[in-house]
Amino acid sequence: MLELIHVNASYHSAPVVQGVSMRVETGETVALIGPNGAGKSTLLGAISGTVPQRHGQVLLDGVDLMPLYSHDIVALGVVQVPEGRHVFAPMTVQDNLLLGSVALKDRQRSLQDRFDAVYALFPRLAERRLQLAGTLSGGEQQMVAIGRAMMSKPKVLLLDEPFLGLAPKVVEEIRQALNTLRGEGLTLILVEQKLDIALPFTRRTHVMIKGQLVLVENSTDLMNSPDLGQLYFRLSQPASV
């Protein structure tokens, strides 16, 4: 179980994430949505330890991740797939995946099992394992980014806009892979701008506006809301006096 308690995060002096508290049950899939600049990516960075200034508590099964470095957080089972893929272009697919296994427990014994698991999830990567990652399509690079994260056998996967800029066929292929991981009990937190992707795929949806969590709703109920199209606008307005 992952629990955030009064989490604040920023890159400089100005606050980005302010007092966010949320709870994600083991094996649950939740969406984190909101307009550009709402603080969604910064919140993921606060969880994964990649944001320089962060305060509050991030508890994974009762262990506080906040004092830890990002590589220690990965070793405990929380891994982020960043927006923009960030594959190592001059390296092969296989070497990109290998980098994701650095924090893998019992690495020598488990490494081949992790490669097998990733290649079963994305068979296309097995075909291209010796190809340079920079020569892959955008969708294939996203598969590498997710596969690299899975090499450490995480408990919680943080996904930042994994479908951004991808063709519908590739979106469906990656969504099916994530659905397989969800069926295996992996906890997923999905940042996604497209509500038609985020809501049907998740159990609960968290809405962020201006660095704060303003709504937590059952995804199905939110999807059926008649004023869904006005959601961000309505929630971002100041309360009437």
Q: Kindly report, residue by residue over 119-171, the tens digit of the pLDDT.
A: 999 999 999 999 999 999 999 999 999 999 999 999 999 999 999 989 999 99
State how far the Cα of 204 lies from the Cα of 213, in Å rounded to an integer.
13
Neighbouring-strand partners of residue 10: 53
CA angle 11/152/47 to nearest 5° reads 25
Cα separations in angstroms, 233 against 27, 61, 77, 208, 229: 31, 36, 36, 12, 9
CATH of 1-77+155-241 among 3.40.50.1000, 3.40.50.300, 2.30.30.90, 3.40.50.720: 3.40.50.300
Tell me, yes or no, if the pTM score tops 0.75. Answer: yes
Report the distance separating Cα 120 and Cα 117, nearest Å. Answer: 5
Question: Per residue in 170-191, pLDDT tens?
Answer: 999 999 999 999 999 999 999 9
